[in-house]
Structure formats: structure tokens, C-alpha cells
Structure 1
């Protein structure tokens, strides 16, 4: 899906940014219409719509069969203990060393 969006964005950018004029624009539009009405593209669109539609129904049915009566648990009153804080590590410079300049 990201590739299709990228391709559409590139096409729109090309159309808006081109200086070739109306003729080139009409060629691009005609090519896009031919591509969108191609039988393989139409079939892929229908298959994707069917997959997305049945996929959500299948997930919903699966969840309903696993837990037929969902219950909610209110955790707002539950106190969660915090881990203890660490003491910061303090380092002291070595005595007798000369700094590098």
C-alpha cells in the first residue's frame, strides 16, 4: 500500500511540476485511467477489498468464540509500586595524573 501511495505522490508531483503542458498531462491521465481499468488491477482491488472485509469479520468471530462475554477490569484504583531509585555514581578524578592538552 505504501508503494501505491508513493507512486501516486510521484505522479501528482510530476503532473503539477511539469512544464511540458496540457498534452503531457492528458497522456498521464489517460495512462492512469487505462491502468486503473485494467482487468488485473480491478481483480486485485476486488480481492483486496474482500480480504480486508472478511479479515475483520474473521478476527471478530474468533475473538467472540474465545471470550463470549468480555469483562472489563478497572485498574484505576490499583496501586503499582515504583522501583527504588538508584543512587548516582560519582567518579573522582585520579590524583597525580596530568590532563592532556
Structure 2
């Protein structure tokens, strides 16, 4: 079932990407490159990662206690 979902998502992404064309791809790529180098986003990503780690640890602890 998971493999089927993956293939469906891949196919949809391929079709939508092919329709957008190379120019749109380059535009998205430039925006991504610009965003990943932004120190504010790096800081936000670190904060979100720490919160996610904390939430996972809390969930594991809760499951162990049951």
C-alpha cells in the first residue's frame, strides 16, 4: 500500500513538473537556494527540530509508561 502511494505521488509530481517546464523549475530552485542560506530560516529550522525531538521523546515516554 505504501509503495502504491509513493508511486502515485511520484507520478503526480512528475506530471505537474513536466507541465511547469524548465523555467519554473529554475525559479523554484533559485528560491530554494536563497531560502536555505537564510540564517533566520536556519535558526527556525533548529528550533523546530528541537521541538520535534522533544515531542517524540515525550511520546516515547508516554508509550513506555503504558
Normalising by structure 2, what TM-score? 0.49
Instruction: Indicate the structure (1 or 2) with the bigger Cα radius of gyration.
Output: 1
Higher relative contact order (CA 8 A, sep 6+): 2
| Greater helix share, structure number | 2
Normalising by structure 1, what TM-score? 0.36
